[in-house]
Chains A and B, each alone.
Chain A
């Protein structure tokens, strides 16, 4: 069975600085997709970034980028120029390309200090 692990329950960053959130996963599949979602206090789930496993190039969306290390099964999220609005809970997620099953990690709460 696949698993997703986020080992940092809480992180904090100074406004305008850079922070990296860690995510590791375990799978025997070769076809899968990885995601980072943001959940602010409103509980709404917001897609931050996504990565296809077959793509070697790391995905980037504005201030958000990932470091996808397929062999190490690692998928970390880097947030550059952190803003107060980035404060939220961040979830790493894995979706099987074979079954469609989509699971989440435990989450990392990010605090942004002014």
Chain B
């Protein structure tokens, strides 16, 4: 099992550019999440999804978009990148049953200059 796979691992963007962070899981999990973590800080929820076709905003959704066309994939789109979006991005999934734990990807380190 690959678990949760995020690509790319690292990326440098120029201000105003756009990109998509990919996240895929092979555990048939219904719940998927995107978080950002600034240095020395906690994880902030950007968007989440409880199933294919269903997405909802988290704590810091501005500047981002998501889609969930399949159970496996949950891409995060950054439009018009800004320096404030420099962060480490984590994708996570869980099966949503009882207190099932999150399975995390390895993260994407994004720098916007």
Contacts and interface: CB of A to CB of B under 8 A. Distances in A.
A97 B108 CA distance: 28
B31 A100 contact: yes
A37 B94 CA distance: 14
Contact of A44 (B45, B94, B104): B104
Interface in A70-114: 91, 95, 99-107, 109
Interface string A47-77: 1001110000000000000000000000000
Interface string B44-71: 1100101000001011000000000000
Interface string B94-111: 101011011010110000
Contacts, number: 56
Given A43-B88, A43-B107, A102 B45 contact: yes
From DSSP, what is the main secondary structure of chain A's interface residues? Answer: strand
A33 B98 CA distance: 8
Contacts of A37: 102
Interface of B: 31, 33, 35, 40-45, 48, 50, 56, 58-59, 88, 90, 92, 94, 96, 98-99, 101-102, 104, 106-107
10 contacts: A43-B88, A44-B104, A45-B102, A50-B99, A52-B98, A99-B50, A100-B50, A101-B48, A104-B35, A107-B41
